[in-house]
Amino acid sequence: MIVQQFVQTAFQQNTRVIACQKSGQAICIDPGEESPEVVAFIEEHGYELAAICLTHGHLDHVGGTAYLHENFPEAEIVAHRDEADLYYALPQQPLMMGIQPHQLAAMGMDYADPPKITRFAEHKDILEVGDLRFQFRHCPGHTLGHIVLVEENEKTVFTGDCLFSGTIGRTDLPGGNYEQLIDSINKNILSLPDEYAVCCGHGPDTTVGRERVMNPFLNG
Ligand SMILES: [Zn+2]
Ligand SMILES: [Zn+2]
């Protein structure tokens, strides 16, 4: 499994391209912004982009979906059903954050309507990408339809904005719920063995074992 990370947007979001070495099939998790760099990386390696997987619909995770899909129109666009409304509201999201309409272009947030979700990620469904098998797990709490992706053979979980190194996702935005987030993390992430690598939506990677012991939101 090849994992290439790109830190994107003013929110320092971790966009990742994950490829199967053998087949050359790849996915992109959370394309944060219009990024020729991501497109060039995929093209230079000759990867076939099978899917664009969205952990959730916040603008820093989906802002680059349209551009990436224009370049790789065969790629599925995958998100949870409960996240569709937030995803399709991308053009309105900056305004909800208090950004003024006349500031949108300057901030790179003048979003058009994003392309249609082509596959809904069902809880425990598997997405096969060459030899890689990504299992979706519905983890509400940061948003209603947040998912994480678990790759069992590679012992890796991509946690979006559920779980970070030493902290957890915000729950004060629309659709957020603190108890639900803790429950989601316990059931779907901390239930994995300690050695699992945790690739977070912001900040450094960590492991399940480290967060189980060190994360002040989880070790009580
Ligand atoms: Zn978020
Ligand atoms: Zn985020």
- C-beta separation of 101 from 111 below 8 A: no
**Over the range 124-159, which residues count as b (16 or more CB within 10 Å of their CB) and which as e?**
eeebebbebebbbbbbbbbbbbbbbbbbeebbbbbb
* Residue 49 included in any domain: yes
* Residue 154 included in any domain: yes
* Residue 170 included in any domain: yes
What single string gives the DSSP state of each residue in 156-187? EEEEETTEETTEE---SSTT--HHHHHHHHHH
Q: Could you tell me the distance, in angstroms and rounded to a whole number, from the CA of residue 22 to the centre of ligand 1?
A: 32
- Which residues, chain by chain, have CB under 5 Å from ion ligand 2? 60, 161, 201
Q: Could you tell me the distance, in angstroms and rounded to a whole number, from the CA of residue 13 to the centre of ligand 2?
A: 6
Q: Could you tell me the distance, in angstroms and rounded to a whole number, from the CA of residue 17 to the centre of ligand 2?
A: 17
- Which residues, chain by chain, have CB under 5 Å from ion ligand 1? 58, 161
pLDDT at 219: 84
Nearest ligand to the CA of 86 is 1
Q: Over 90: is that where the pLDDT of 220 sits?
A: no
Provide the residue range defining the domain that includes 67.
Answer: 2-214
In Å, what is the CA distance from 137 to each residue of 20, 56, 158, 181?
21, 12, 10, 13
- C-beta separation of 76 from 55 below 8 A: no
C-alpha R_g of the chain:
16
CATH number at residue 77: 3.60.15.10
34: amino acid identity, one letter: E
Q: Could you tell me the distance, in angstroms and rounded to a whole number, from the CA of residue 170 to the centre of ligand 1?
A: 8
pLDDT at 118: 98
Q: Over 80: is that where the pLDDT of 41 sits?
A: yes
Q: Could you tell me the distance, in angstroms and rounded to a whole number, from the CA of residue 21 to the centre of ligand 2?
A: 28
pLDDT at 176: 97
Q: How confident is the model at residue 107 (pLDDT cuts 50, 70, 90)?
A: confident
Q: Could you tell me the distance, in angstroms and rounded to a whole number, from the CA of residue 75 to the centre of ligand 2?
A: 22
Q: Could you tell me the distance, in angstroms and rounded to a whole number, from the CA of residue 56 to the centre of ligand 1?
A: 7
pLDDT at 66: 98
If you average pLDDT over every residue of the chain, what do you get? Answer: 97
Name the domain count of the chain: 1
Q: What integer is the mean pLDDT of 134-147?
A: 98
Nearest ligand to the CA of 14 is 2
Tens digit of each residue's pLDDT (9 = 90 or more) over 184-204 = 999 999 999 999 999 999 999
Q: What integer is the mean pLDDT of 163-170?
A: 98
pLDDT at 162: 98
Does the pTM of the predicted model rise above 0.95? Answer: yes
* Residue 220 included in any domain: no
Q: Could you tell me the distance, in angstroms and rounded to a whole number, from the CA of residue 46 to the centre of ligand 1?
A: 31
